[in-house]
Amino acid sequence: DAGVIQSPRHEVTEMGQEVTLRCKPISGHNSLFWYRQTMMRGLELLIYFNNNVPIDDSGMPEDRFSAKMPNASFSTLKIQPSEPRDSAVYFCASSLAGWDGGYTFGSGTRLTVV
């Protein structure tokens, strides 16, 4: 199993540009989560999906952030327009609901907005 795959690993963009982060969950997992890690706030849950349906997006900081999961094997997190304060590491994770082993995280995307 290749695990949760995130791309790109690193992204540097200018303020005002659109940024799209991508995630491929583990095959068979039916829950997908987007987290953001910063020094100040630690790991924050942004949004999660169950069976491709967004369940809770209360952690999305602003309307500039949006996430989609068009099918069970792909999700995107988009920031438009990006701002320097969006600089962080963004993690995607997936899990099988009902299993007590927790999530499997991807390696993250380090986003730098200049």
Partner 1 sequence: DQQVKQNSPSLSVQEGRISILNCDYTNSMFDYFLWYKKYPAEGPTFLISISSIKDKNEDGRFTVFLNKSAKHLSLHIVPSQPGDSAVYFCAASTSGGGADGLTFGKGTHLIIQP
Q: Which residues of the shown chain bind partner 1 in the complex (CB under 8 A)?
A: 4, 31, 33, 35, 41-45, 48, 50, 55-56, 59, 91, 93, 95-108
Token pair for residue 55?
């369940």
Q: Which is nearer to partner 1, 13 or 37 (CB)?
A: 37
Smallest gap from residue 78 Cβ to partner 1 (A) = 20
The single residue listed with the structure tokens 């199993």 is 1
Smallest gap from residue 2 Cβ to partner 1 (A) = 13
Q: Which is nearer to partner 1, 74 or 105 (CB)?
A: 105
Number of other residues whose CB lies within 10 A of the CB of residue 61: 12
Smallest gap from residue 81 Cβ to partner 1 (A) = 26
Number of other residues whose CB lies within 10 A of the CB of residue 78: 15
Q: Which is nearer to partner 1, 67 or 93 (CB)?
A: 93
Smallest gap from residue 41 Cβ to partner 1 (A) = 8
Q: Are 1 and 99 in contact (CB under 8 A)?
A: no
Q: Which is nearer to partner 1, 81 or 99 (CB)?
A: 99
Using alpha carbons only, how large is the chain's radius of gyration in Å?
Answer: 13
* Three-class DSSP labels, 55-75: EECCCCCCCCEEEEEEECCEE
